[in-house]
A and B are shown apart, each in its own frame.
Chain A
Amino acid sequence: MAPLTLEHLTKRFADGDDEIVAVDDVSIEIEDGEFLVLVGPSGCGKSTTLRMIAGLETITEGTIAIGDTVVNDQPAQHRNIAMVFQNYALYPHMTVRQNMRFGLEESTDRSKAAMNETVEETATLLEIDDLLERKPRELSGGQQQRVALGRAIVRDPDVFLMDEPLSNLDAKLRSGMRMELQRLQADLGVTTVYVTHDQTEAMTMGDRIAILDGGRLQQVATPLECYHRPTNRFVAGFIGEPSMNFVDVTLEDGHLVGGGLTYPLSAATRENLQGHTDLTLGVRPEDIEIREGETPGHHEVPVSIEVVEPMGDGNNLLVELVDGETTLTVTVDGMRHVEPGGRSLARIPESAIHLFARATGEALHNREIEDETALLGPQG
């Protein structure tokens, strides 16, 4: 167990005459025992970053350190890292016991009895102790997943790396495994880097999330901070399901104008804009309120309800502004009956809006939070 430090990590691939920058100057400090989730769309460089930490990919620039040791030049065999692969990568000709023991045999000088004991302890922890003599092909996907996890755990590594380990499981198994993984990681206290493209996994599992896009680090923060205080438009759109609504607007005369919207902005909010006038307005679906009525009040806009997706606990609505082409996603309470086709009023509270500079995507103003320290912890 040790902290893991990435400094100015860069990976460039040669592609014919072109050069592709897969990972661009990424610096993250991962504390001892922390669970960090690397998340981003496919091709964002998250897997390359993970493979560089593992030693399966060379580092173009920058350093990786485990504890105080820079491991750039250490081969994968000597880094004391364990990795769980997306397809589990079990050895098909070995039993579960042999699969789990392989790493101990190759990296330690312990006696066979001692290794078997460790394997059996780990198998009991993962509830696969009755499968030890089976071959991987005789196991279900969920069981193979546990064996892959067990194979990593028995090694008692400094760092765990997980490359989308849950993506081959069906949805129900996945949510169960998500919680179990968190519990395991907390119990074992091993520094963990977890790669996923699934923002739900990122939100629910990580102590902190690192969001990557196009090889660049967008934000490293706790899940709730990423959700409520995104540093830019990409993070705001990537985190949260359904995604945040975005409307391109211009600041004119104290109002945000665009896409059929004319939205008065208070002086306090205007102060945050640093003189930018070309903006993107962002608002999360659950912050928009839908009410019956004809005459729009303050911060209200008439809309028509186009699509209703009942989810049981809530309804996802797709609404269109009456005065324009803009569509918004809105989530409302599941107990409320909503018919598509009706006209309603949508209220966008000013306390819930985010404003981004349109050109750079940089967040200029984030939503208000009533008890910020309670929700996000002490802020620097």
Chain B
Amino acid sequence: MSDDTVKPTTDPTRADTRLDGVDLERISLYAILCGLIAFYLSPLWSGLTTAFKTQSAFVRTSPLAPPMPEGFTLEPWELAFATMQGGLLNSVTFVLPATVLSATLGSLAAYGLTKLSWRGQVAILVLFLAGVFLPYQSVLVPLRQFWSAVDVAGLLSFAPFLANRADLIELTITHTAYGVPICTILFRSYYLAMDDAMIEAAKLDGASPFTIYRRIVLPLSAPMFAVALIYQFTQVWNDLLFALVLVTSRSNYVVTQSLNVLQGSMVQEYNIQMAGAFIAALPTIVVYVVFGRQFAKGITGAS
């Protein structure tokens, strides 16, 4: 991603043609850009070097210095992965449905709010907007009370496998509900720009409102789905707060919680923590790479 965006400004052939005349403005521009790149990348870089160093090498060298052969090790990665693999798996099983559900529901809600006409749309829209600005912290206590009252584990007691995963089911539903407002707002702006005449043409062609959604609106929403999926995936994957409140059994720990476990109570093993942080961040990076092109289309409004 970042490679693509930096390239044009550091294109070597363009810089060469400028070298014959001293272009102070351009030189200072590059100097500032390089400084900013160094500034932004240094934490990432020092994290990466630390993850490959032995504990003693970490103590002896500067965090910015690359690992030397005698202090190089892959052990932190192995240890971190061993502790986190359960959390990774748990996260994948609840983040994917939560992401897809909130994007799909958001898209449907936005379709109803833009391309269908019925009474009370504005009131509903206001509720969605308010939902976007509701901070996580403010709902923690009622959320915990709500799920205690519902007792998902009790409801699912006929299927012990699901009952054991009740924490994750609660988390899925909570994140889906919390993600629907922002997804709705994202899709709404996209659908407002969509040609009304096209929807009317489909109507005259005999299609019902849901058929119009399924056959016309949904296929044309791919770029905005990429935006919503990437945004929601990152949000839900990186969340720790809801997980702390809703997930109690250790076997259901999600990735952010298992990363927290790496933080030893007595000795701080920074190399393992850094390796764990990279492992935890990897899936979001993969999602960006996979949906990157569609994402760019979605945010620039091209379809």
Interface residues of A, Cβ cutoff 8 Å to B? 54-56, 76-79, 81-83, 85-87, 89-93, 102-103, 106-107, 151, 155
Contact = CB atoms under 8 A, between A and B. Distances in A.
A56 B303 contact: no
16 contacts: A55-B204, A76-B203, A77-B204, A82-B204, A82-B205, A83-B201, A89-B201, A90-B201, A91-B198, A91-B201, A91-B202, A93-B219, A93-B220, A102-B205, A102-B207, A151-B205
B19 to A, nearest CB: 43
A85 B197 CA distance: 7
Contacts of A151: 201, 205
B8 interface: no
A106 B303 contact: no
Contacts of B216: 91
Given A85-B200, A85-B201, A103 B195 contact: no
Nearest to B203: A76
Interface of B: 195, 197-198, 200-208, 211, 215-216, 219-220, 303
B200 A56 contact: yes
A88 to B, nearest CB: 8
B206 A92 contact: no
Given A87-B195, A92-B303, A81 B204 contact: yes
B214 to A, nearest CB: 11
B207 A77 contact: yes
A77 B208 contact: yes
Nearest to A78: B206
A89 B219 contact: no
A13 to B, nearest CB: 14
B211 A106 contact: yes
Give the most central of B198, B206, B216: most A CB within 10 Å: B206
Given A92-B303, A106-B211, A54 B219 contact: no
Nearest to A98: B215
Given A54-B200, A91-B201, 16 more contacts: A54-B204, A56-B200, A76-B203, A77-B206, A82-B205, A83-B204, A85-B200, A89-B198, A90-B201, A91-B198, A92-B220, A93-B219, A102-B215, A103-B206, A107-B206, A151-B201
A188 B205 CA distance: 19
B113 to A, nearest CB: 19
A6 to B, nearest CB: 18
Contacts of B195: 87, 89
Contact of A89 (B197, B211, B303): B197
Contacts of B206: 77-78, 103, 106-107
Contacts of B219: 93
